Each structure stands twice: as structure tokens, then as C-alpha cells.
Structure 1
Amino acid sequence: DIARIARAIAEYEYVVMLARPDQQKAAQRACGSQVEVIPLAVDDMWARDTVPVFVEEGGEVIGVDFNFNGWGDKQEHTNDARVGRTLLAKYGIPRVEAPLVAEGGSFETDGEGTLLITESSIVNENRNPGLSRDDIEADLIETLGVDKVVWLKGVRGQDITDAHVDSLVRFTAPGVVLLDQAFPGTPPDSWSRAADQARAVLSKATDARGRRFEVIDLPQPDLDRITGEGDDFVSTYANFYVANDSVFMPRFGDRKADDRARGILQEQFPDRDIVPVVIDTVASGGGGIHCATHDQPGKPVD
């Protein structure tokens, strides 16, 4: 699944795969010649959370290292904690160490100063003990250069991330968001209630430019029709990745739901190819395409 994602994205933009040194050759064979595989000690595959968050300051790209600690010390990730520092050194990108512990999947921005985030994933003693929401908001504004933070409640303790926003709400344009929705008729649970709470917040909030949010539903597939399985299976279409001229979304096997999600994404990204990718093994591990990837600003590649 990981190699399939890399090969698909490599049709549109340059792709670097991180692989343990002893797995580099096998990863290169799996990914093919269009993907550069570099040896780098890693513990797991969630690049969204371990690779630095890139910001631009004075025309220079800077990598912000958010001190990854295994999603609140739920797992041991000694190697992953060093990925940010190692990767920035390799590419000669200046490193800034954030005053917080967080993960890239907990941030969603519109590129115009607005940040969406769940309280559960960062205002949490397992990451930032002793810091209030106001403390954390001030640090986020200073570190990321955003102007406004919109807080969603999220869900504590029911998945390893404490409910990252990238599986709940995603921007498609400034002022426009897609909101994950349970399959119609699914009994309410903590996740659907979190989505309801997010809708209530977004319906009243404005972004950094004073715009009201347009909220568009992005329904999940029927779990009785998908091809994947597992207690940690993530069946949201919201965990998509936006690449050059393209958007990569999961294909879960419920044809009607897959087609509906693809249509919604195509309406929101009319000038991009919408590319479905089978990721059942990745999803069974509790993540998606966005979780497994991280965009790094760079010069255009021929």
C-alpha cells in the first residue's frame, strides 16, 4: 500500500520515500525508479506526524520540528522523534524547534492565516502538560505565523492520535471545508458527535479574513461494503492528499460511496485529477493517505 501511494503520487510530483537502511533496496524495488528512496531510521510510516511542518519566512522555507513523542507517549518512537532533525539536515533546511509537542496531522490551514485544530490532540497532558488552550494558541500563532485558531473539541483517548483534525475537517479553499460524516443511518458515537460539534463551531465561526465557513458533507462508506477490516480501520475520505495537479483519495470498495466522494472532491478541485488509491492495509493501521505523506516545498522538477 505504501509503495502504491508513492508510485501514484510520483506520476504528478517528485517523491522521496523514507526507509530503514536495511529495507532501502526492497523499498526501491517496490516503489520503482520514479521514487527516490533514502535510508533513514524510522519506526513507523506516519510521515505527516514525524516530518517537520514547513513554513515560509522572508521568502525562506523553514522546518518546524514539533517534538514528536509517539502521540503522547502511547508508543515508543525513538527513531521517529529524530526524523525531523535528520531530514532537515539532509536537505539543508533551517530547523526551528517548536515550544510545543504536536503532530502535522493535528493542523489544517487555509494558507491565509486560519488554523483548524482539535483540542483533544494538543491541549492534552500527554503532550503539553501544564499549558492552557490560550497558552498553546499563542505559541501556535507565533510558531506557524497564523492569525486565527479555530478550536474543535475532538475525541480524547479513543484513537492513538486523540482525533487529529485531518480525518475530520479539511480545507478545499479559503472559507470552504469538507466535513467527515458517518455513513447515513449509522448509530451516533463519539466520532459522529465530534463531527456534529465541529459543524456547530464552524457554522458560527469566521476565518482569519472574516469569512463565514461553507461546510460541505463528505460521507463515509458503508462498512458492510468495504474491502478492508480491523478495529482501527479509518474509513474517512477526508484524509486525502493534495499534490501537484491532483488529489489522492482512498478507494474503500463501496463503489457507490467511493464514486460519491470522488465526485465531491472533483467539484471542489475542478482543475485537478482525483486519483483513488486502494489503502486497506494503511487504513487498518489507523491512518490514511494524508497521514502517510508530507508535502515539502521545493523547486519545480522537470
Structure 2
Amino acid sequence: MNDHIAGRHARRGLNRRGFLAAAGLTVAGAAIATTTQGRAGAVGAADAFRIPAEDVRHTRTWMAWPDRTAIWGSGLGGVQADIALIARTIAKYEPVVMCANSAGAAKARSMCGSAVTILSSVPVDDCWMRDTGPVFRTDGSGGLDAVGLGFNGWGNKQTHAKDALVAERIASYVGVPFTYAGLVGEGGAIEQDGNGTLMATRSSLVNRNRNPGMSESELGAAMCDAYGASKVIWFDGIRGQDITDDHVDATSRFLAPGKALVQMPLASDNDAYANDARRQYQVLSMSTTATGSAMTVTTLQGPDYNKIRSTNQNFLASYANYYLCNGAVISAHFGDTTADGAAKATLARLYPDRVIEQLNIDRLGTGGGGIHCVTQQQPIA
């Protein structure tokens, strides 16, 4: 397998990393919403633990420093520059800890600056902390623990011996109880509203490359147990066309309990990912939350790929892949000035009490990922 570019969420090409042939790749099934009931908070210290919404106050943000040319090739330096830019920007609002290999720690310190803490005791393979890091849970009474999702390189598609241990090692560093969830997955594959409702794509999780032999209902129950939730809104997603098998966080996000956002394509876009986004919008619009409330769905217009700066077929231009930190929304711009401005205005309307930071992360986007993909929040207990 060619690990030269770590593509994860590409929009235009069928092949986001070059590890799969185009033949036989289809969007799976009909876009009908199904739900799964689970026991809230069965993993970890107490049933009251749950993963909060991402807009709660954070203690810090966790990130990871890429240093492998075997994965990034000649593009490594540019990706490092984008990772450093994201870290420095978040560090204006909350502490950032960057996990780095010993050999890359000095460069990470030099590029990230003194505002970012470089931690060399948690080695990494790559930069996708959303997928490899722990998901932290709180109990509302000052308790904090962490759950690992059993990262396996997105179905053994990439070297991950170090990344498979990142979640447990970070939990140990923080000094909180740690438990592995009863499934294999990634943080970018599951969105939570902090009030009992999850959303995810079947393509990423109900997949034999992560969870062979597990049914959708079994996986839903395991997700609810880990996240302290009781309902999963499932999307079909897209199998086999990118390394993640279509993570939900590039398209759909929770804004609050009962409120969601979907990045929509241009009306003229008719590729698999455009149609997937339309289906996700339809499913959410017909869904209810864990408490029975109807979902309200806001749209975020995606850019025109003919007007963005990048011409790379693996490029991810996802405004929806933003990161919430204390007092700010960290998002991206792509060179379609009209769409960039409209996305910033939409985010400002949705998050009126936060600064909207738009960054040029084109080198990271060429690898098929975005800002949410490379960050993991540690909420205040």
C-alpha cells in the first residue's frame, strides 16, 4: 500500500489515497434513518459518565506531530507547517499539548512556538488525534475518565503501532481511569450532542475492517455504552473510497441537542460525496433526538471546487470540519472567496459568542483531512 499521502476525506477523486481500485465502489444502501438503543455510560467508572458536547469549556487541546516521510513524502514539511499553524491559533484561546516522537520534538517546538507544550513521552505515527486520541467523559460532579476506541489504522490501511496506544498513554499522562470501548472505530466517525444522541456512518463502523461479526444493533449499543448515550442516528455513508470509509465529521455536526449542521454541495455537484451529503441532510431532517425532539438542521454551503486554490484530487474542502475551542471556532478557507466568506458568516451566526478564525490549511487538506481531524478536546470536569 502506498502511504505517500495520508488522504482521508477527498471530495473529487474516487481514490483518496491510492490504496483502492475504483471498480465496484458504491454508496451503500438506502438512506433511511435507524436508531439503536443502548445502556448509557456502561463503560468506565460510573453510569453517569458521558462524553459532553464539544462546545463545553476545555482544559486543553491534544494534537499530534507528523514526522514520517513514509506517510507524507515530500509534502511532510507543508503538513507540519499547517499543524503548527492550527496549534498556535488554538493556543491563543486554550492550552495545547502536542504529542511528538523524540526525534521530531525539537522541530515541533521550533515551529509551534513556546505557547504550545510538546510532549515526547507519547509517540505517534501520524497527526490524526481525533481518531487516535482518547475521548474524555465527565460525570457532572467533577469526575473525568477516558475511553479508547481501539484504533486500528482505519481498518489496517496504515501503520499504527504507536497510534494504537496514544489514547491509553494520554489517559495515563492525565491520570484518569481508562477503558477500551466494545468496538473499533475513530473519534471522527462518531458525533455526539452530549445529551444522549449520536450520529455516525454505517460505512465506517458497521464494517468488517473494524468490527467483523458485529451487527448494527450491537455496534450501536457499544457506542451508546462508551459515549453515555441512548440513540444513534445512522447514515449509510460511502465504503471503500477513502481511508476512513466516510467519517461523519467532514459532513454533519451537532450544534446542540436537537440541532445539527450539514455541509451541502453545489446543486450541480453529483459525485458520491455530494449525494451522500444530501442523504445525510434528509436523514437528519426526519430524525428525532434521544429525548424525542425533532431535529432542526442548518445547512452550510460548501465551496465550488473549480474556484478553490487546490487542484489536488484528494483535497478535502470541508468547512464543517471545524474545531470548537474556548472562545473560538477554528475553521478553514479554501480560496473560493464567496463561499469562504459565507461560511465564516454562517459560523459567526451559529456561534455568536466566539471568534471565527479561518486558516489556510491546504497542505493538510491535500492529505484529505481538516482541523477537527487533527484535534481532540479534553473537557473541564
Shorter-normalised TM range: over 0.9
Distance 2:214 2:142 in 1: 32
Question: Amino acid of the residue matched to residue 14 of structure 1?
Answer: P
Residue 136 of structure 2 is matched in structure 1 by 54
Helix, strand or coil at the partner of 1:45: coil
TM-score normalised to the size of structure 1?
Answer: 0.96
User: Is residue 274 of structure 2 the alignment partner of residue 192 of structure 1?
Assistant: yes
- Which range is displaced more, 226-235 or 103-112? 226-235
User: Is residue 202 of structure 2 the alignment partner of residue 84 of structure 1?
Assistant: no
Structure 1 position 142, deviation (Å): 1.6
Residue 279 of structure 1 is matched in structure 2 by 361
User: Is residue 197 of structure 2 the alignment partner of residue 114 of structure 1?
Assistant: yes
Pairing of 1:117-156 with structure 2 (within 5 A): 117-156=200-239
The alpha-carbon distance between structure 1 residues 98 and 193, as it changes in their structure 2 partners (threshold 3 A), is same
Structure 1 position 285, deviation (Å): 0.5
Helix, strand or coil at the partner of 1:160: coil
Structure 1 position 168, deviation (Å): 1.2
Instruction: List alignment gaps of at least 5 residues for structure 1.
Output: none
**Identical columns (%):** 44
Across the two proteins, how many residue pairs are aligned to each other? 298
RMSD: 1.2
TM-score normalised to the size of structure 2?
Answer: 0.76
Structure 1 position 211, deviation (Å): 1.6
Of 2, 8, 28, the residue aligned with 2:109 is: 28
* Structure 1 residue ranges, 4+ long, deviating more than 3 angstroms after superposition: none
User: Is residue 377 of structure 2 the alignment partner of residue 295 of structure 1?
Assistant: yes
User: Is residue 85 of structure 2 the alignment partner of residue 4 of structure 1?
Assistant: yes
- Which range is displaced more, 111-120 or 52-61? 52-61
Distance 1:100 1:50 in 2: 14
Residue 44 of structure 1 is matched in structure 2 by 126
Helix, strand or coil at the partner of 2:335: coil
Question: Amino acid of the residue matched to residue 221 of structure 2?
Answer: A
Question: Amino acid of the residue matched to residue 170 of structure 1?
Answer: R
Question: Amino acid of the residue matched to residue 35 of structure 1?
Answer: V
Report Cα offsets for 1:55-88 as digits up to 9, x if no partner. Answer: 1246421110111000011112111111111111
Distance 1:17 1:249 in 2: 19
Report Cα offsets for 1:154-197 as digits up to 9, x if no partner. Answer: 111111101111011011222221111113422x1111111122
Helix, strand or coil at the partner of 1:291: helix
User: Is residue 95 of structure 2 the alignment partner of residue 14 of structure 1?
Assistant: yes
Residue 173 of structure 1 is matched in structure 2 by 256
- Structure number with the bigger relative contact order (C-alpha 8 A, sep ≥ 6) is 2
